[in-house]
Amino acid sequence: MSAHDGILVFAHVGDLHLTVPDAANARDYRAILDQIGAAEGLDFVFLPGDNADDGRPDQYALVRAGLDGLRRPVHVITGDHDMEGGGLDAFYAGLGVPRLPYAVTVSGSRCLFLDMCGPGSGGPDFRLGSDQIAWLERELAAAEAAGRPCALFMHSYPADLTADDERSRVADLIHRGPVRLVEMGHTHYNELANDGRTVYAACRSTGQIEEGPVGYAVAALDRGAVAWRFKELGRSWPFVLITAPADRRLAHADDPARAGDAEIRAVVLGAAGIARCECSLDGGPWQPMARGAGERLYRVRLDGAAGARRIAVRAWDAEGGRDEDAVEPARAGASPPVSKGVGSDADALGSWPEKGLLGTQLGPNRNGRHW
């Protein structure tokens, strides 16, 4: 399927914390990659850091062995556990990934990958350093000039940066720039926060879970609008993600829905062919959605979509599997959220079970046990 259709879709596998090959998280990691590898429609897979629990070469070999079987690009960044050996030599040698920071353009979005750990002294001494911040500023300015939305990939919230000047500078760069989505690890729990301009998304850990079942997130940027949903590993295909209109909880002032866009769009992922996809407005009759040859998006244009309070999309695959997603669209003329603290979890949405958010905040950021 086309990777040039204007929508970015990727899978986010939470902090691995791999130790030994027969541990539960190593088995879950392999199962997640096998499941992701069977599905069509993803641009890449993202690993958000804390890949090797002790930063050892044998642990990175486990990470690398899993990635070698994937048929799509993978982007891996650093976390504080990747610095356990006192540096990142084992990370780069064991994984063979590009040096951070770097940027790629995928399906019309500029994707920026950062190292919060290498400039620090180890542990949660999160820093970017002046060179990396200058690089980020240049990249964001270029993306804004080109009219490209950005997705930023870093291990934790900007608020977790150690230095006050970095913390405020990076949060401001993100908030005022073209960054629509920041994908993170570190928390170990699922969380979405929206400051009115940028959505921050953290995915449940694979290796140290303190809430709910293991799984991974699927995220999308559709013309700058953010969509996000967690998929439990134990749930069968297919998997539906509505990408437009944006849900009111993830709304941005520039989202197309605010201009009264009547088109509904969704991605349906699965290992078997999709037999049927349809949508419903406010519990009304189900309407068929269609996907063009070589396209990832199922679409339908309905006159009532712009004023709907709830839009649901469901799909069946050729093996009889079924899934459903739903959004509450941002209403035309509604004001976007006002931030309580940019670059932090102050704007967290709390519980949203339909998207896999439990609102527990059980992890090392808050309320978690001591590591």
- 210 belongs to a structural domain: yes
pLDDT of residue 369: 54
Residues 223 and 301 in one domain: no
Task: Give me the pLDDT at residue 277, please.
Answer: 98
Range of the domain at 172: 7-235
The upper half-sphere exposure of residue 154, i.e. CA atoms within 13 Å in the direction of its Cβ, equals 30
pLDDT surpasses 50 at 328: yes
What are the tokens at 292?
Answer: 């063009």
Task: Give the C-alpha separation, 181 to 221, whole Å.
Answer: 8
Of 235, 259, 275, at which residue does a domain stop?
235
What percent of the chain is predicted at pLDDT more than 70? 94
Distance CA(132)–CA(135), nearest Å, equals: 5
- Greater confidence, 338 or 55? 55
- The pLDDT, as a whole number, for residue 323 is 98
Q: Is residue 101 located within the same domain as residue 43?
A: yes
237 and 244 in contact (C-beta within 8 Å)?
no
Domain annotation covers residue 307: yes
Backbone angles phi, psi at 201, to 5 degrees: -130, 125
pLDDT of residue 336: 73
pLDDT at 337: 79
* Per-residue CA distances from 106 to 7, 44, 87, 283 (Å): 9, 9, 30, 35
The Cα–Cα gap between 313 and 308 comes to: 13
As a whole number of angstroms, the distance between CA 302 and CA 286 comes to: 11
Same domain, 231 and 289: no
End-to-end alpha carbon distance in the chain? 43
In terms of pLDDT, which residue wins out, 219 or 363? 219
Q: What is the rounded average pLDDT of the residues 303-313?
A: 91
> Do 76 and 161 fall into the same domain?
yes
Does one domain contain both 204 and 264?
no
We report the CATH number of the domain holding residue 313 as 2.60.40.760
- Is pLDDT larger for residue 365 or for residue 198? 198
Residue 354 confidence class, pLDDT cut points 50, 70, 90:
very high
Judge whether residue 2 has pLDDT over 50: no
Closest by alpha carbon to 251, among 355, 179, 331, 190?
A: 331
Statement: residue 3 has pLDDT above 50: no
Instruction: Give 200 or 306, the one with higher predicted confidence.
Output: 200
**pTM tops 0.85:** yes
**Residue 138 sits in the same domain as residue 20:** yes
- Tell me what pLDDT residue 4 has: 53
Buried b (16+ CB within 10 A) or exposed e, 263-282: ebbbbbbbbbebeebbbbbe
Asked, for residue 241, whether it belongs to a domain, the answer is no
The candidate with the shortest Cα–Cα distance to 252, out of 147, 330, 193, 346, is: 330
Is residue 1 assigned to a domain?
no
Q: Which residue has the higher pLDDT, 369 or 267?
A: 267
Spatial contact of 116 and 155, defined as CB atoms under 8 Å apart? yes
Number of domains in the chain: 2
Judge if 229 and 258 occupy the same domain.
no
Q: What percent of the chain has pLDDT over 90?
A: 85
Give residue 371's pLDDT.
Answer: 47
Q: β-strands 297-301, 263-269: how paired?
A: antiparallel
Q: Are 119 and 132 in contact (CB under 8 A)?
A: yes
Q: Looking at the predicted structure, is the pLDDT value of residue 159 above 80? A: yes
- The neighbouring-strand residues paired with 232 are 215
- 214 and 254 belong to one structural domain: no
Residue 119 and residue 260 in one domain: no
6 with 149: CB under 8 angstroms?
no
Whether residue 145 is found in the same domain as residue 50:
yes
Residue 200 shares a structural domain with residue 252: no
Render pLDDT for 170-217 as a digit per residue (tens, 0 to 9): 999 999 999 999 999 999 999 999 999 999 999 999 998 889 999 999
* pLDDT of 303: 86
In a domain, 184, yes or no: yes
> What CATH number does residue 77 fall under?
3.60.21.10
Question: How many separate helices (H) and strands (E) can be counted in the chain?
Answer: 5, 18
pLDDT, the chain, mean: 93
Give the pLDDT confidence of 240-262 residue by residue, as tens digits.
999 999 999 999 866 544 445 68
pLDDT at residue number 259 = 45
Domain membership of residue 361 (yes or no) is: no
Tell me, yes or no, whether 83 and 180 share the same domain.
Answer: yes
User: Is residue 228 included in any domain, yes or no?
Assistant: yes
What is the mean predicted confidence (pLDDT) over 270-285?
95
Asked, for residue 370, whether it belongs to a domain, the answer is no
Helices marked H in the chain: 24-37, 57-68, 89-95, 130-146, 164-176
